[in-house]
Amino acid sequence: MFNMHATTQLLHSIPVDPQTGAIAVPIYQTSTFVQDAPGINRGFDYSRSNNPTRQELEKIVAKLEGGTTGAAFASGLAAIDAVIKLLESGDEIIAVDDIYGGAFRLFEKVYKKFGITVNYVDTTDLGAINRAITSKTKLIWLESPTNPTLKISDIRAVAEIAHRYGILLCVDNTFASPILQQPLKLGADIVVHSATKYIGGHSDVIAGLVVTREEAIGTQIKFYQNACGAVLGPFDSFLLIRGLETLPLRIAQHSRNAATIAQYLESHPLVDKVFYPGLTSHPQHGLARQQQKDFGGVISFSLRTDTEAAAISLVTNTTLFHLAESLGGVKSLVSHPASMTHKSIDAATRKAAGVKDSLIRLSVGLEDPTDLINDLETALAIVQATQSENGIAQQLHHC
Ligand SMILES: *Cc1c(COP(=O)(O)O)cnc(C)c1O
């Protein structure tokens, strides 16, 4: 599934240091670079503008995504922010309705006041995208799979629509990672990552990446990276390079573990609905199969008893799945989007996007899947016991 060729290429796109032969990319922990004469330097003058460790990361990622230019930022949101800066006051964005909460907050609480407005649509429906386009639309913003309901949008088809109207397409590729999906090869103009997730992979760094297909757009992104200054530091750049070395292996195992757990959840009597693109019950399973190499490590599911209380009982009774925001690390995490990541989205918008009160999101880690299933089994049994106790209490109350 993950052909040797791509993995070998990735590993060997990480260079051996020409000066010393160091097999790991050196960390150039320096703010400035001594110049031979004013304006005459060895390619670097100040680490906000460019740093050798960050530059290596940017090259590796650009190659991995099949783009021309990479830019590394201090967080995923800083990467998204740099892309929105390509726009001007009065421009419109069409964005996937099931959007990452932080991107929604950035659009609504920051960019709206500068005159950039966002129209949220169900991007799985190409007709809905077509209907939302106006003469002011300059950017289409996709996540695929989305967070947290794992909706899949047809990147190739959306790119065709966008380009018919001279609109840019940007894909937040955080959930799939470049191992499962390369949006630029499907026609997207820009890819962003919260590298905090799968690319870092060890829950020890906050970072973001932008990769562009065209050099001209890349040059603009690099301009904003330097002009606004939310750059990734040398040590964090090193951590991402190290993460990239095992990314194909980790993604393969995350996907295998998640597939096993999704099937287990789908057959559990307390579980209402399982959202995982690898399940044949997923509405865009066929598209996911075409567009992605595998289905990744994130699963969401809702409970038959659709209450926040039931969900909170579950997420506080797992022991291997730690309760935390974020995803993509080696250790499994569980979260309750309605009260955590999606808290800043109002209830009506949240529910319209399919984020029910009982929705639970799993980031399936690299533990043995049997242990992870046992952990869920125990927590679900506690939820069931609590519910039947409440049921009995209610019956007594009615007597
Ligand atoms: C986490 C996340 C972000 C934001 O990234 P940070 O590194 O936390 O700033 C953006 N998009 C998606 C899909 C994410 O999961």
Rounded CA-CA distance 197/356 in Å is 24
Contact 338, 357 (CB under 8 A): yes
Whether pLDDT at 149 is above 80? yes
From CA 1, how far away is CA 83, in angstroms rounded? 32
Q: Would the pLDDT of 34 be above 90?
A: yes
- Please say whether the beta carbons of 315 and 330 come within 8 A: no
Which atom of ligand 1 has the smallest separation from the CA of 195? Answer: 7
For the residues 158-186, what does the mean pLDDT come to? 98
Atom nearest to 328 CA in ligand 1: 15
98: pLDDT strictly greater than 60: yes
The residues near 290 (Cβ < 8 Å, ≥ 6 apart) are none
CA of 297 to the centre of ligand 1 (A): 15
Distance in Å, CA 75 to ligand 1 centroid: 8
The answer to whether 162 touches 140, Cβ cutoff 8 Å, is yes
- What is the 212 CA–ligand 1 centroid distance (Å)? 18
Q: Whose CA is nearest to atom 7 of ligand 1?
A: 76
Average pLDDT over the chain reads 95
Cα–Cα distance measured from residue 334 to residue 318, given in angstroms and rounded to the nearest whole number:
8
In 3-state terms, what secondary structure has residue 207? coil
Query: How far does the centroid of ligand 1 lie from the alpha carbon of residue 267, in Å?
Result: 31
From the CA of 208, give the closest atom in ligand 1.
7
Tell me the residue length of the chain.
399
**Is the predicted pLDDT of residue 217 greater than 90, yes or no?**
yes
pLDDT score recorded for residue 164: 98
Parallel, antiparallel or unpaired: strands 333-335 and 322-323: parallel
Which amino acid residue places its CA nearest to atom 8 of ligand 1? Answer: 76
- For residue 102, give the ligand 1 atom closest to its CA: 4
What pLDDT, on a 0 to 100 scale, did the predictor assign at position 392? 65
The mean pLDDT value for 56-69 works out to 98
Q: Where are the domains of the chain?
A: 6-243, 250-398
Sheet holding 92-96, edge to edge: 69-73, 208-212, 190-194, 168-172, 137-143, 92-96, 117-121
Q: What would the mean pLDDT of 42-54 be, rounded to a whole number?
A: 97
Which listed CATH number (3.40.50.2300, 3.40.640.10, 3.20.20.140, 3.30.565.10) goes with 6-243? Answer: 3.40.640.10
The string of pLDDT tens digits covering residues 274-304 is 999 999 999 999 999 999 999 999 999 999 9
Do you find a cis peptide bond into 38, omega within 30 degrees of 0? no
Determine which of 191-195, 229-233, 248-252, 387-391 has the lowest per-residue pLDDT on average: 387-391
Of the residues 77, 153, 204, which should be mutated to test ligand 1's pocket, given the most ligand atoms within 8 Å of the CB?
A: 77
Tell the CATH topology of 250-398.
Aspartate Aminotransferase, domain 1 (3.90.1150)
Answer for the pair 83, 170: CB distance below 8 angstroms, yes or no.
yes
pLDDT at 1 over 60: no
Cβ-count burial of 380 within 10 angstroms (0-12 exposed, 13-18 middle, 19+ buried)? buried
* Ligand 1 pocket, Cβ-based, cut-off 6 angstroms: 75-77, 100, 102-103, 143, 147, 172, 174-175, 194, 196-197, 206, 208
Of 191, 196, 202, 210, best ligand 1 pocket probe by most atoms within 8 Å of the beta carbon: 196
Q: What average pLDDT does this structure show over 28-49?
A: 96
- What distance in angstroms lies between residue 359's CA and the mean position of ligand 1's atoms? 19
Q: If you take atom 6 of ligand 1, which residue's CA is the nearest one?
A: 76
298 C-alpha to ligand 1 centroid (Å): 14
Q: What is the pLDDT at residue 397? A: 62
Q: Are 57 and 232 in contact (CB under 8 A)?
A: yes
Residue 309: C-alpha distances to residues 133, 358, 380 (Å) = 40, 8, 13
CA–CA dist 387, 310 (Å, integer)? 8
Pocket mutation for ligand 1, best pick of 100, 177, 240, 345 (most atoms within 8 Å of C-beta): 100
Pocket test for ligand 1, best of 174, 203, 362 (most atoms within 8 A of CB): 174
Q: Does 4 score more than 80 pLDDT?
A: no
What does the pLDDT read at residue 354? 81
Report which DSSP code applies to 111: I
Average of pLDDT values for 359-371?
98
**18 Cα: distance to centroid of ligand 1 (angstroms):** 34
pLDDT of residue 349: 78
pLDDT (0 to 100) of residue 253: 98
Residue of the CA atom closest to atom 5 of ligand 1: 76
Mean pLDDT of 307-327: 96
List of residues 6+ apart from 379 with CB closer than 8 A: 314, 315, 317, 318, 321
Roughly how many angstroms between the first and final C-alpha of the chain, as a whole number?
61
Asked if 141 contacts 95 with a C-beta cutoff of 8 angstroms, the reply is: yes
Report CA-CA distances (Å) from 242 to 50, 173, 199, 237, 261: 20, 19, 9, 9, 28
Q: Which residues are catalytic?
A: 48, 100, 172, 197
Report the nearest atom of ligand 1 relative to the CA of 143: 13
Q: What angle do CA 191, 192, 193 make, to 5 degrees?
A: 130
